[in-house]
Structure 1
Amino acid sequence: MEELSIRDKILKGAEVLFTKYGVRSISMDDIARHLSVSKKTLYQHFSDKEDIVTLACKAHLDRETIEFDNIHFRSRNAIEELAALSLKLKHNMEELNPSLLFDLKKYHPKAWAVWVNHKNRIIRQSVIRNIKQGIEEGYYRPEINADIISTMRLELVQLAFDEELFPREKFKLPEVQMEIFDHFVHGIATEKGRKLYLKHKEKVNKHQTTTIL
């Protein structure tokens, strides 16, 4: 039991560093220093940095799946779920180093494969389910193809991380993601759906303004 807790502590600590600074810039020494443990302790539980990156990525995505499932079960309709997801997405992007996905793709193929599998299997099915639900409820346009739109949605999320298209000195990742998200919603929603979405957004904006003040 003690061994498991140390392993979990290492994964959580590494995830914090990767999220804030990206993956490439963080070494095993950095992880050891951050957690106040020896490198020997790291290697007792993980074979190398690739192992930590892959397992930290999987742990993060598993936790995110539970959070998104909870949003779905709490939501009264497809639009309410989208509004809650947009708030969660904005929060996640504010804490995320924009280089993270690029680092995984270029330097950590095993972790990248975990992300791609999660995106294509879990997230895609969730988007398809929400689209079909929204069509049934009259909030989304009935003629849209859920398979095509869900694929487009996922690729646009990933596209926002491309620094050649959205250089970090000019664009902030949360703003890019929210602009893309709003474009997605307005593209699939009926007039009834757009009105309800804007109503939820206004409520969230008022809450955030009140919190700041």
Structure 2
Amino acid sequence: MPTLQLINRKLETREKILNAAGNLFIREGLKSITMDTIALKLGVSKRTIYENFTSKEELIREFLLENMLKHKNELLSIVNRSENVIEALIQFGEYNREIFSKYNPLFFEDLKKYYAQLFDSTVDDSRVKNYEVSYLILKKGVNEGTFLKSIDIDIANRFIHNTMDFFYKLNQSTHLPHAKIWQTVFLPYIRGICTEKGLEVLKAISAVEGN
């Protein structure tokens, strides 16, 4: 078999393993899923799994990295196809709610408990990527006249992310509804940095959304 075909087949196998493992991790958490579980799910030998991933931790790491890239690309796509930044922000929330509602809470609990170093590096990397996206949308909002020119974009961005981190940690024990957090914290903040034009857009969208 030509070398290129061999490479493509290996990549396809690796991707199938990654997708199958990822779906199991999301549904069942990390601890309960073994390499044997993944091999059984795919109908392949455990040796095939180890030929593509040297350890379960590497498999988890690759799954997280791929998901973070998909997440960032989808957020950028939302920014590009939205008519304005207010609409984009609301779609961000809807997208995140849809994605994270699929995850078994054990996924994040297991990641933090059994793969602490990987958890920390993933959170840091994710924060950087999301920071870039939110900075872009704040800047776009200022440029299109939706947000006040007087705001310090860097400070506003840090506030948003620090607030998100706070509610993420709080939610691990309280499980507050995302809609309630949006209405109580983020919506008033967005109103506060809006121009008159931005407030009109926000009012129109909120009326449609029922907020």
TM-score if structure 2 supplies the norm length? 0.79
Structure 2 gap ranges (5+): 1-7
Aligned-pair CA distance for 1:177:
5.6
Q: CA offsets per residue over residues 102-152 of structure 1, 9 Å max, x none?
A: 4334432235414412321x2112111211221232322333322122123
Q: Secondary structure at the match of 2:146?
A: coil
Match of 1:52 in 2: 59
Does the CA contact (< 8 Å) of 1:57 and 1:111 recur in 2? no
Distance 1:74 1:45, change over 3 A: same
Match of 1:103 in 2: 110
Counterpart check, 1:19 vs 2:26: yes
1:62-211 aligned within 5 A: 62-108=69-115, 109-110=117-118, 112-120=120-128, 122-162=129-169, 165-166=170-171, 171=175, 174-175=178-179, 178-179=182-183, 180-203=185-208
The structure number with the bigger radius of gyration is 2
State the aligned residue count: 202
Distance 1:3 1:105, change over 3 A: same
Does the CA contact (< 8 Å) of 1:104 and 1:112 recur in 2? no
Does the CA contact (< 8 Å) of 1:128 and 1:150 recur in 2? yes
Does the CA contact (< 8 Å) of 1:101 and 1:161 recur in 2? no
Distance 1:154 1:15, change over 3 A: farther
Does the CA contact (< 8 Å) of 2:68 and 2:126 recur in 1? yes
Q: CA offsets per residue over residues 59-82 of structure 1, 9 Å max, x none?
A: 111112221221122123222221
Percent of aligned pairs sharing the same letter: 27
Structure 1 gap ranges (5+): 206-213
Between the aligned partners of 2:125 and 2:172, the Cα distance in structure 1 is 27
Between the aligned partners of 1:43 and 1:132, the Cα distance in structure 2 is 45
Between the aligned partners of 1:98 and 1:198, the Cα distance in structure 2 is 34
Between the aligned partners of 1:203 and 1:22, the Cα distance in structure 2 is 37
Distance 1:160 1:73, change over 3 A: same
TM-score if structure 1 supplies the norm length? 0.78
Amino acid at match of 1:193: G
Distance 1:33 1:160, change over 3 A: farther
